[in-house]
Amino acid sequence: MTKKEIIKALPYSEPFLFVDDIRSIDENRVEGNYTFRKESFFYKGHFKDGPVTPGVILTEVMAQIGLVCLGIYLLDKEEVELKPKIALTSNRIDFYLPVYPGEKVKVESEKIYFRFNKLKCSVRMLNDKNEMVCRGEIAGMIVNE
């Protein structure tokens, strides 16, 4: 499955698609990018005098790139055609730096395990200066409709 096919298979659309590019992917890891649009809905009021990206959105970006993209890659083509969904089951994320409107981030994820349709990954997000924005573990179950 190609990187573009993986992005196309994601169960998200604008304004909740947070994957611009998958830079690399294999059976153990994935790396991708996302640039936060200045006009994104979640900046209105968060915060009114200086918008920053909410932590829940940073977690979602990490989950979409680091868990869902890798999960789709790990499935064989027949299962992807069944339109699988990956339901987030747990996360533990530590936050270090804010992300502002217009910033580009890189997400790197390494598989911890994939068994019994559960995928668990160690995920980190870096800014353009290669500084750690946040990191942690995210897990999800792959469920076919």
Q: What confidence score (pLDDT) does residue 70 get?
A: 95
Q: What confidence score (pLDDT) does residue 39 get?
A: 95
Q: What confidence score (pLDDT) does residue 75 get?
A: 85
Q: What confidence score (pLDDT) does residue 79 get?
A: 63
Q: What pTM does this model have?
A: 0.93
Is residue 126 within 8 A of residue 132, CB to CB? The reply is yes
Question: Of the residues 4, 8, 37, 46, which is catalytic?
Answer: 46
Nearest alpha-carbon partner for 69 in 30, 121, 18: 30
Q: What confidence score (pLDDT) does residue 121 get?
A: 97
Nearest alpha-carbon partner for 75 in 20, 11, 119: 119
Q: Which domains does the chain have, with CATH numbers?
A: 3-144 (3.10.129.10)
Residue recorded with tokens 């649009």: 37
Residue recorded with tokens 């920053």: 52
Q: Which residues of the chain have pLDDT under 70?
A: 76-84, 144-145
- Alpha-carbon distance 94 to 84, whole Å? 28
For residue 46, indicate whether it is catalytic. yes
pLDDT digits 0-9 by tens, 63-72: 999 999 999 9
Q: What confidence score (pLDDT) does residue 77 get?
A: 56
